[in-house]
Amino acid sequence: MAGLRSDQFLMWILVLLTVQRHACQAKMFEDNVKILSFNLRMFGDAKMRNQAVVMILTEIIRRYDITIIQEIRDKDGSAFNELMTAINSDGEDYDSVLSSRLGRTSSKEEYGVIYRTRTVQVDGIYQYPDPDYVYFERPPFAVKVLLKTADNLADLAIIDVHTKPTDAVEEIDKLTDVYQKTMAHWDGLQNVLIAGDFNAGCSYVTPTEMKKISLRKDSHFRWLIGDDVDTTTSNSDCAYDRFVAAGDQLQAAIVPGSARVFRFDEVFDLTVKEMKAVSDHYPIELRIRGRVDRTELAKFDRDLSTSFQDSTDHARADVMGMFSTDGDLENLGFDISIDINSNNKKFIMALKEDMTKLEVETAVDSIDSSNPIFRESVRELIKLDLASPFMSGLPNGQGFLAPYDSKYSFTVWCEYDSPYKCSFKLTRRNNNTDLLT
């Protein structure tokens, strides 16, 4: 009996240590919420009979937390149910919602949203009211989702749309009304992602027509897939599939650069025939930033810096003159010092901190134009780096979660011995104290 108690005691110690170990390894950044939009091209029984296609579709959908689907032609629902069974066959836990079968003709389609239940919860559906099909061939279908692991974005409405190609201009223009009614249905929810096959390119929507579309002209809407992107697997080159984001929180939460085409043929090494058997469209994807432990993030100092070295060999007199007590840099308030690196190489340095962007630009412009170290190309590069989105700090972008001070440090350093090359560095510090407010 004593031995049993000893074993039980050791077991509970092991459990406690395991829990503590996992607690210590809690992630500062949750995984991003991954979203896909995909026109499955006449999805139904025939496509489900092709096991190679089913395997590829299953693997694609499992990569994402939310998959927004167009062109489900499955009359009795059996094919879509089989797809869901295949997706969950390896212990995954996905669920789905479907619209009713929609369309002016006997060839009807359903919209669908497949979601990973561990990270996403569906909180309601909304069918845009167009029962007589006055405005849309397939009236858009909306789903409200709760994002369990997103950062500063608790809920989101997704509007799924597949326009009629020959009516694409009119239907896309009408999407502003769809947005307004969807927002009103959910008590003013402004964070809305419009996704799907817009047919928004080539002959269906010309560049001239695009400029007149209200969804494009209204600054509240951000188009995330460019007009020059090819979303088709055929020989055409058309930006049919799109994401359009509305709402400040949603737009801020989208990871910069994450909205793009997912070329599944390259990932799965498919032939052209195998690729086209899946769909005549490439899916499009984006990511929403995962939850951030800001208490943990505030423990780290992270600076934005950009620097470059000029490979020009300067004369010693020019270098020493610029760093002298009556030289340009000291007259501008820079601190001059000598530094030796780990390889015992000596540098002469000039540093000025707490400069505004304008002060950096003014300092660069005020240096004598005949100065061989601050030649025109160097001035241009400094200003280019200063004005770059990177140095500005993309608001709420991945990697720029910390707020950054509006002040800059500017450093110039040159080799103390031949060949006297010089380098330049701009640094912007983050303000960790704001992370906890």
Exposed (0-12), middle (13-18) or buried (19+): which is 332, by Cβ within 10 Å? Answer: middle
Query: What SS3 state is found at 113?
Result: strand
Integer Cα distance of 314 and 3 in angstroms: 81
Cα four-point dihedral sign 184, 190, 191, 192: positive
Strands 155-162 and 192-197: parallel
The residue from 71, 110, 137, 162 that is catalytic is 162
Q: Return the number of other C-beta atoms located less than 10 Å from residue 125's C-beta.
A: 15
Q: Which residues contact 111 (CB under 8 A, 6 or more apart)?
A: 68, 69, 70, 72, 98, 99, 102, 138, 140, 141, 160, 161, 162, 196
Look at residues 153, 389, 165, 175 and name the one whose alpha carbon lies nearest to residue 292.
153
Is 361 annotated as catalytic? no
User: How far is C-alpha 310 from the geometric centre of its chain's CA atoms?
Assistant: 34
User: Is residue 92 annotated as a catalytic residue, yes or no?
Assistant: no
Name the β-bridge partners of 68: 37, 113
Angstrom CA distances, 393 to 260, 377, 418, stand at: 22, 24, 37
Catalytic residue among 109, 110, 171, 415: 109
Residues forming the active site? 109, 162
